[in-house]
Amino acid sequence: MLTDLDLPALWEYRSDYQEPADFDAFWSSTLAEARSHDLGLKLTPVETPLRTVEVFDLAFAGFGGHPVRGWLRVPRHRTGPLPAVVQFHGYASGRGHPLDDLLWASAGYAHLLVDVRGQGAGYAGGGATPDPVGSGPSHPGFLTRGIEDPHSYVYRRVFTDAVRAVEAVRTVEFTDPGRVGLVGASQGGGIALAVAGLVPELAAAHFQAPFLCDIRRAARITGSGPYTEIAGYLAARRDRVEAVFDTLGYFDGIGFASRATAPAWFSAGLMDGVCPPSTAFGAFHAYRGEKQIRAWEFNGHEAGGSDDLAVVLPAFQHLLKP
């Protein structure tokens, strides 16, 4: 069933999100602190039975200098520097198995799939990156950890790790630092959107049903997780509503969209009860760079799934030229 606005209303919709006055200063100081730590890039070959793709266990220093892991997959037979695609995964998942996610390497890219710290313990895509930073009381899940202060909020660390992942892949000897694209679905789409707003000179981006956009609206209109974690937290802390949304203002995809310039493709399922389509359209309308959006009328959170990727692959091929 239709979960949100219909398509004509989505084209007219504009979010009432208001960014914090010190949004840029907050992220500038956060990234400067992270860059005070040596990147510490490590690439370890992984033995697999694959004939056409090589896999490396990649590690680098993220927020606080903490180690972050990912799989770097590359075409086995390659000549010259490769364009790179950096991918971020969905909520509670992880980088998974070395044999997973072969699409982008098979299409000719160096493909880095990055762990989200602290996630991936109970889902098919297992993670290998802990989060050594604690927080105060939170609702079950990840979304409310440290949520009453932007400096302690978990996604400050996650987004910083993601920026450092792009910096890491740009230093790999067989990649072309001028040809880097971003992809992600759901939480991964929200992380990719944050990186697009924080990292210059990216070549392309794909945000599929992006999470963490127009967050206050999403928390009010959807009855599905993970946004219900915010509602659950505030149901017990009724006097903390404004403090929570003040924090979330620093992490809303609409704030990053207004700073992002890479050519971008968005998608949304009009029956998405997890990330309401109006929240994706809110980010799309705010996006600064060249952009397109595909609304999948009878799809939910998969937002077109492989058919959506079939639209994006030729677009990336044109821009990144694998």
- What domains, with CATH codes, occur in the chain? 7-317 (3.40.50.1820)
Residue 100 burial (CB count, 10 A): 15
Would you call 152 a catalytic residue per the annotation? no
pLDDT value for 121? 72
Of 302, 91, 263, 315, the C-alpha closest to 190 is 91
Residue 45 burial (CB count, 10 A): 10
Would you call 66 a catalytic residue per the annotation? no
- Given 272, 278, 285, 308, the catalytic residue: 272
Residue 201 DSSP SS3? coil
pLDDT value for 126? 86
Tens digit of pLDDT at every position of the chain (322 positions): 788 999 999 999 999 999 999 999 999 999 999 999 999 999 999 999 999 999 999 999 999 999 999 999 999 999 899 999 999 999 999 999 999 999 999 999 999 999 999 999 755 578 999 999 988 888 889 999 999 999 999 999 999 999 999 999 999 999 999 999 999 999 999 999 999 999 999 999 999 999 999 999 999 999 999 999 999 999 999 999 999 999 999 999 999 999 999 999 999 999 999 999 999 999 999 999 999 999 999 999 999 999 999 999 999 999 999 9
- Given 66, 139, 206, 301, the catalytic residue: 301
Would you call 301 a catalytic residue per the annotation? yes
Outline where 150-286 has alpha helix (H).
154-171, 187-198, 215-221, 228-236, 241-248, 253-257, 277-286
Give the side-chain half-sphere CA count within 13 A for 312: 29
What's the whole-model pTM score? Answer: 0.97
pLDDT value for 14? 98
- Given 15, 93, 186, 278, the catalytic residue: 186
